[in-house]
Structures are given as C-alpha cells and as structure tokens.
Structure 1
Amino acid sequence: MILLFVMALAFVYVAALRLLGLDGNRVTAALIALTPYWAAAGLVLGVLSLAFRHWWIGGVVTVAALALAGVVVPRVIPSAQPQVHGATLRVMSSNQYLGHADVQTIVRLVRDNHVDVLNLLELTRREATEFERAGLFDLLPYRVFKPQGGGAGSGIASRYPVTELSLAGPSMMEQPSARIEVGTTAVEIVAVHPVPPTTSALIWRQEMGGLPRAPGSGPVRILAGDFNSTLDHATFRSLLDSGYTDAGESRGAGLVRTWPSSPFPPPVTIDHVLVDARAAVRDYRVLDVPKSDHKAVFAELMLP
C-alpha cells in the first residue's frame, strides 16, 4: 500500500506540472519530456489500483492519466492545412553529433528528397570540409556556416541565395539565420539549437525566449533544428503559440521520436520544424542518419 501510494504521488506530481504548464528545474524538465510514457504508465497504475480496490488512489491516478492522454493523443491526428497555392519549399534539419554524423548520408538525403534548405547542428570545421568534398555545395551552393568544436557550431545551406540575418538572441551555441527568396515569397530561416534544460533550465528558457516569434505578416518564418524541447514543455508551447505550426504534429507524426537513436534513454521528440502558420505542411518525415545520436527531420511546405 505504501509503495503504491508513493508511486501514485510521484505520478500525480509530474502530471500536475505538465498540466499546469510548469517546466521547473533540470530534473522536472527532463521528467516532463517523458509525458507520453507517463500517460501510459499512469493508466496501468490506475487500473491496477482500482483492481486492488484502492479506490481513491486508482481514481485520482486514472483521471490524471486520462488528462495526460488528452494532450498526447491529438499528436497522431493530422490537422487541417491552410489553403495556399505558393511555391514549394523542402526543409531538412540534422544534428551532426559533434561532427560525427555520416556526411555521405546527409548529401544523399538532400539529393533524394530534393531538399532546398538544410540546417546542420553541432557542425565542426572538419565536417564542413567533408561536406564540400562530398558535393553538398553542388546541390545547395549558398550557405551561412558557423562551424565550431564541442557541439557549438551550426550552419544553413540553401538552394537559393541567402542574406545572413541575426534573428535569434544570445546563445551558447550558434543559431544562424538567413533570408531567402522562393519565387515571389521571402522566407526567413533559423537553425535552432538552445542548450538542453538538463544543462541549465534557466539558460534554456532564456535561449528559447530569444528565438524569434512568428511574424504574422511579411516574410514567412521557419525555425528548424534541435530545440532540446518536446511538445510537453510549456517553454516550447509558448513559442508555438506565437503563430507557428509544428510540422510533425500537424501531419499526425508528433510522437515520432528523434533522439536518441538508441532505445535508452527513452526516446523523445526534441527535433522540430516550426512553420509560420500561414504556410501549409504537405509532408513530414523522420530520417535515419548513421553515426548520429539524432534522427533528421524533413518537411515539405507550401508557401503562401
């Protein structure tokens, strides 16, 4: 009975943080990232408690688990898209795992998926040179690359000419941005990579808060990269609520995990393509990248 009560108390605590929109500290932010697992575990715990006639415990846990399921389940249901008829833009983002990810695979994915804009996180100088040798710049000749060691580098490669911008606020890791012209539509791209909340929840919130909000008018804005955040983090949802659509969620793939590529720790969805709500998401996929701890994310968009 005591063990059951402790388990129920721990579950209700995490559920309350998620439902109240409180990311909390390093530990609680990590626990909130596991919300889909908590929802499933809570339903099992609730049913078992009721089966053993612990009515109060079972009732409270079951209600909390159903509430969590209510915020998780919609992620597998595709949502309606805006009726737009502009140009097509294909965006891919890949975390290169300290420059170890397989360069040839990235180039092949760019070629096979007709990628127009590629965001690279944890880009090193050595790997930038390898991309040049592998022919990436034959496919995407324009770029804003800021390679560094220690996972701090990032870059944007584009099929279209780029104008470098400075849209993201101060951050420990590079978060370059650029403007491109796709037909008659101006598009602003940001390669996103804030620090993980497990490093510092305070800095993570500050860097997430420094990302540009959706403009509502003017150039279409796209944020793509390793957000170190899931749809269950209130900090991430605040960014979404400014006027972005999560490409994976909008296509019913909001529960497809992107990190880590191995089964442990429990995989979560922290890589995203956030799209200005004025654009439509026509396709979304999660792609394997050998030698990286992340999977790449790909979105095909139709611009207004």
Structure 2
Amino acid sequence: MGRWRTVLAWALVAPFLMWTVLRLSGLDAGFRWIQLVSFTPYVAGAAFAAPVAALLLRRRAAAVAGLAAALVLGGLLVPRVLEEGQPAAKGPVLRVLSANLRFGLTPPDRLLALARETRADVLSVQELPPGTRQKLEEKGVLELFPHTANGTHDTTLYSRHPFQAGEAPSGAVRATLDVPGAAQPVEFVAVHTCAPLHPGLGGCWRDSQSELPAATPQGTPRILAGDFNATLDHASLRGVLSTGYRDAAEVRGSGLRATWPASGWSFPGIVIDHVFADRRIAVLDYAVHDLPGSDHRAVSAELRLP
C-alpha cells in the first residue's frame, strides 16, 4: 500500500515538474509545446493541488517538490498582475487600438464605433480582406484615419497622423509616425505573425516571431501592436520584449486578460494580442474590448511618448 501511495503521489507531481522545467528552459521546443505552453497560467493554478494531494498521501518529498513547482509557476505570473512604475515621459499622448476582424466578420461600423470610443490615433487591423476594407472606407474610416498603408496577410495600418511606410516583416505594416508635439518621430509596427495551427506552420511561427523588430532604447521609440499569436510564456516573444519593450497589459496589471478566443468558445482563453511599447514610453491605460464577429478581443492602450 505504501509503495502505491508513493507512485501515485509522484505521478500527480511529475507533470507539473516537467512543465516547470520546460517553461524555464527558454525553448519553444516542438509544435505541441508551442501550443501547450500558452496555457501556463491555468497549469500554474492547478499545480497547487498536487502538493496538497501528496500531503494527503503522506508523501513529504513529493509534496515539497510539487510545492516548489507550483511556486515557481505562480511566480512567473506575478508580474502580469502587478502594476509597474512608469518612466518620466512628458511628450504627447498616443492612443493605440488593435483589432483582428476574423477575415472581415466584424461589422465595419462596430470597429469604427470602438475606434471613436477609445479615441484611437493609430489603428492596427488584422485579417481585413479587401472587400471588408472597401466597406470600412465606405463607412468613413478615412475620415477618422486619413493616412493608411496595407501589408501582407490582410494587415492594415490606419493613422490620424501622417507617416512614412517602411520595409516590414511578412504580415506586418511598419511606419514612422510624425506625432504633433513629439520630440522625435515614433515607429509603429502593425503585427500579425504566423499562427501555429498545425505542425507544418511551426517553422513559419518561429520565423515570424524572430522577425519582429527589436526595440531601440537609444534611438527611435518603437511600438508594436497586433495579433502576435504568442503569449508571454513563449521564449521567442519574451526575447523580443527583453530588447527594450514593455507589454502594456503587464504594465497595467492586466497581463492575464485573455484576448483569444472570444466568448462562446469552449476552451480557456489566452493572451496573444499585445501592445509592446519602448520602455521610455509611459503606459497610461490599457483595456480589452469585445469585438462582434471576431474570435479575438480588441486591445487598446493609451501611451505617453518620451
């Protein structure tokens, strides 16, 4: 009986130990792990049940190991729910809105209503096919955002401020904005990276993550916004963040607010839509918004430029 208690206790603890090791390894190893690691916040919550079960089975070593794994996983999430300090930015405010329209299923007037509600200055739109783009223009998007540029993968950038478009990674639009009152131009990248939907897209996902432009903390301030198809539990995305960005959701303590899938889906939500801002930029506000017709929620951020 004692032996079976030991086997059962370690069987309960071992998956969480393995998950912790893989998560800390800094590798996005294998297609299934790319998908599974996105659910680390849920695993972290469940992990605390394993040491309790081991204690009930009177197996102290397994309980200690399980508690260590749970504390490590939980510790990884703490920065996402605690607000961070802000840099002493004194420039103008730039309001950013990002929305994935699920290949045009979101009604154009609802997107425009959200843009007005958030008083967006820059709008990053993903999965906006040409037909829907035309309808959006008929509804008056160019009256709100007279400056626009289209990228690959149906990604479009709209802006109130004039900009110069530049060379961008696949699925992105890259532009240098001339924001009134700013000390220098600001680079904005509307992001839509490859989604790891099946094994054949694993390489595409890795490449598109690696192509995201690094921050330039000593140069032009840069903002990335869009559908990254990656969470902060992916090593590739953390690598981009570590170059000098801050995640707007994490800064405002909202780093666990799921953006995909939207309500009505059967499995837990994860955070794959982001606004990354140069660490010199203050994040005054961040919010997640329901988007009718889409499987994503829109995200908005109010940023104060240096």
> Does TM-score exceed 0.5, indicating one fold?
yes
Structure 1 stretch displaced more, 4-13 or 138-147: 4-13
Matches of 2:148 and 2:202 in 1, distance apart?
A: 31
Correspondence list, 1:88-107, <5 A: 88-107=93-112
Give the corresponding residue for 1:159. 160
Matches of 2:36 and 2:21 in 1, distance apart?
A: 12
Give the corresponding residue for 2:173. 176
Per-residue deviation, 1:217:
2.7
Per-residue deviation, 1:202:
2.6
Correspondence list, 1:1-304, <5 A: 1=4, 2=7, 4-146=9-151, 152-168=153-169, 171=170, 174-183=171-180, 184=182, 185-199=184-198, 200-262=201-263, 263-304=265-306
- Identity, in percent, stands at 40
Matches of 1:134 and 1:52 in 2, distance apart?
A: 64
Per-residue deviation, 1:299:
0.3
Matches of 2:231 and 2:15 in 1, distance apart?
A: 21
Per-residue deviation, 1:8:
2.6
Matches of 1:6 and 1:121 in 2, distance apart?
A: 43
Per-residue deviation, 1:49:
1.7
Secondary structure in 2 aligned to 1:182? coil
Secondary structure in 2 aligned to 1:157? strand
Matches of 1:49 and 1:104 in 2, distance apart?
A: 55
Matches of 2:255 and 2:211 in 1, distance apart?
A: 24
Matches of 1:267 and 1:239 in 2, distance apart?
A: 22
Matches of 1:259 and 1:67 in 2, distance apart?
A: 25
Do the aligned partners of 2:9 and 2:59 also contact (CA within 8 Å) in 1? no
Matches of 1:206 and 1:50 in 2, distance apart?
A: 45
Structure 1 stretch displaced more, 258-267 or 62-71: 258-267
Matches of 1:203 and 1:237 in 2, distance apart?
A: 18
| Contiguous gaps of at least 5 residues in structure 1 | none
Secondary structure in 2 aligned to 1:130? helix
Matches of 1:146 and 1:20 in 2, distance apart?
A: 34
Residue identity opposite 1:206 in structure 2: D
Matches of 2:245 and 2:33 in 1, distance apart?
A: 25
Which structure would you say has the larger Rg? 2
Matches of 1:290 and 1:102 in 2, distance apart?
A: 7
Per-residue deviation, 1:3:
5.5
Per-residue deviation, 1:4:
5.0
Do the aligned partners of 2:145 and 2:160 also contact (CA within 8 Å) in 1? yes
Matches of 2:26 and 2:119 in 1, distance apart?
A: 38
Structure 1 stretches of 4+ with a deviation exceeding 6 A read none
Do the aligned partners of 1:24 and 1:201 also contact (CA within 8 Å) in 2? no
Residue identity opposite 1:118 in structure 2: L
Matches of 1:254 and 1:105 in 2, distance apart?
A: 25
Matches of 1:105 and 1:210 in 2, distance apart?
A: 32
Q: CA RMSD in A?
A: 1.5
Deviation per CA, 1:34-81: give whole Å up to 9, x if none.
Answer: 111011111012212212212222221211011000010221100001
Deviation per CA, 1:186-225: give whole Å up to 9, x if none.
Answer: 1111111111234433321221111110012332111001
Do the aligned partners of 1:29 and 1:198 also contact (CA within 8 Å) in 2? no
Do the aligned partners of 2:99 and 2:296 also contact (CA within 8 Å) in 1? yes
Do the aligned partners of 1:102 and 1:292 also contact (CA within 8 Å) in 2? no
Do the aligned partners of 1:102 and 1:289 also contact (CA within 8 Å) in 2? no
Structure 1 stretch displaced more, 42-51 or 190-199: 190-199
| Contiguous gaps of at least 5 residues in structure 2 | none
